[in-house]
Structure 1
Amino acid sequence: MAEDTDVTMADAPPPAPQDEELVLPMVDEKLLEDVKSMGFPELRARKALMAGSKNVESALDWLLSHENDGDIDEPIKKVPKGQTLASSGPVQVAKSIKCVETGRLFRNAMEAQAYAERTGRTQFEETTEVKKPLTEEGKKQKVAELKALAAQRRAEREGLEKVEDIDREKKRREQGQESIKTKEQLAKAQRLREIDRIKREKAAEKKERERLRAEIAKDKAERRARGGRLAGKLGVDGYNPSIDQNDDRRNDACPTTDEPAPAPAPPKKIDLPPPEQVDKAIGTIQKYKTAGDGGTCLKTLGAYLRNAINKGDQDEKYRKIPLDNAAFKKRVSGLVGGIALLKAVGFVKDETHLELTLAVRDSNKALLEETLAKLEKAHAAYVAGAC
């Protein structure tokens, strides 16, 4: 809100009594809790709101822009109870909030925040202008606009879910075809092994028959030479070899088994490498166009990773994300791809405390930095496309 600089000493309020209670300047407590729940210290969160941030998006912008300021962690100067930070001069009462880009007026911060989330605009200021109340016709038009927006979001979500269902069905069919192909290959290999076994058995039988015929012919020739008698008892090398030996030799050459062929192993699920999982998640998030939801999600994820990279080693709270936080549910977990990206870079779900945790031993700083760069690039492209 613009301040009146033409103030004389006569207009200034009298100095506060020495014993008057000093307190921190007043801010929107609900908005303060939302910013703190995203992992930022209360001191910095208060400074962001005192700087004029009217919603979580503008508070994030201020915190990211001033995180390296030398006085960012210096204590906030207290003021007399009941006065604002600007109470050293005449305080003008703000009667509405105005969008700097469009000039549109809002009765309170909640209306302005809803408008910011719907349009992606972040520049607002307090003003003494009074927003005229809606007429009955205006109220009906407003209700119709809200219903249309809700229907649009629902259709967008259903469309995205339909695309993902098609992708899942396509993958299921591909995996089924791959499974059938694998089974056919295993069955073919089994048939080839069986054919080879039969061929080896027949070859061994033929060789044995030829050996027996040769022994018989040799015996006949010897009988003729000795007047019908053999020189001695046939040994194991004669034409009447041991059946057991013959069987043993055949079994060694052509082993058989009654055991069934092993069942084909099911195809293994192919998991994408973490960088590719990150790319897939970012691509999904960028599809959310209504009210700038995709851009908000990308920016919020960037804030989480930046905290984990820069401060996670000193304070473990920057490596934890509460799953039941309202802002997290609305900006990240409510969009397909948000939690998938966090899991891809190492965050693990803790069922006991209902939070996502990035353990130090599991932290891959190179992957985190690479993902942060991708998020910043994707957010810039998203904003450029929305303009």
Structure 2
Amino acid sequence: MAGVSLKCGDCGTLLKSVEEAQEHAELTSHSNFAESTEAVLNLVCTTCSKPCRSKTESDLHTKRTGHTEFVDKTLETVKPISLEAPKASAMDIDIPDGSSGSGDAAEEMIVPEVDKNILEELEAMGFPKARATRALHYSGNASLEAAVNWVVEHENDPDVDEMPKVPANSNVGPPKPALTPEEVKIKAQELRERARKKKEEEEKRMEREREKERIRIGKELLEAKRMEEDNERKRIIMLRKAEKEEERRAREKIRQKVEEDKAERRRKLGLPPEDPAAAKPSVPVVEEKKSSLPIRPATKTEKMRECLRSLKQTHKEDDAKVKRAFQTLLTYLGNVSKNPDEEKFRKIRLTNQTFQERVGSLTGGIEFMELCGFEKMEGGEFLFLPRDKIDSAIINSAGAELNSAINNPFFGVL
């Protein structure tokens, strides 16, 4: 089969003639061409009659204009390719007046007549003269609205700003409008609705992008704040460790000074130096004497204080958590004191997430509530304070201990 196209061996593009191959070589610097039996496609859009040379070109045309129907006229236009480069001659040179040197009178092309009043209105609206003339010609000089609609539909055409030309001796008038005025109005409404929806979609997309950006910035700010809090917490822990170490060294110095003073007094009195090993047996004797004394049992207030001290010591690395637990306990007791007849203030579900996070999961939290009179009931699911067991003195003492624990910075340190 004879070749019907030239194929670029570098990029695979099909070309109809030697002239196209030369232009392609100048633009791309490709030089590897071979004769091919594969014809260049000729897909003609049924809507606007635009020819497309490839499937990719027709897809781009569909994406740009929305036209989807094409007629394949490849076989109608295909012909064997000539590998002879055409020679320019005087007969083939176009003359500016529209004729050619071949001697045959070429048909003269002129700008079609359009409605001048509508043309002036279109120009006043900001449309170029060529685009306005083309719109009036192809919309049949029907109306200003029809011309504007044509411009909207064909604004992406590559030749939209070229002045239209028609044969001078053509008796065929401008194409009549294919749509009735009612259909034109409906079409214009559809176009406006489509433009409105497109604008709304774009605004929604931009809003989503802005929301994503706000979320990203918010996350970065939260992460920065968290890191700052972690660094501050570490700094406080280091300061406390340094203070404790300094306090330990100071106590050690005081103890050494006491030992030195004691040794100096023994020397002045003429006593021999104290033997540390000999002094140890006397300790059990003293303890035995003390054990013979009656021991006073700890009061509820002391037990509460010890319970709060234990809670703070156990969770000393998180002051905020300890303070929140103390404030929560104070709130529970305050509600009972102010509303002793309200059962909802005297009954606490142990599985409640807020109670567990603030009190229940901390060492000593539930024990403190039990010291205030609360009892476990219903299989350990609730803490309940019976109405007849409310002791105002105990509640007040517990409140005083909680206030001291919250306000005294040295509470539980020793």
**TM, length-normalised to structure 2:** 0.30
Does 1 or 2 have the higher relative contact order (CA < 8 Å, sep 6+)? 1
Q: Name the larger-Rg structure.
A: 2
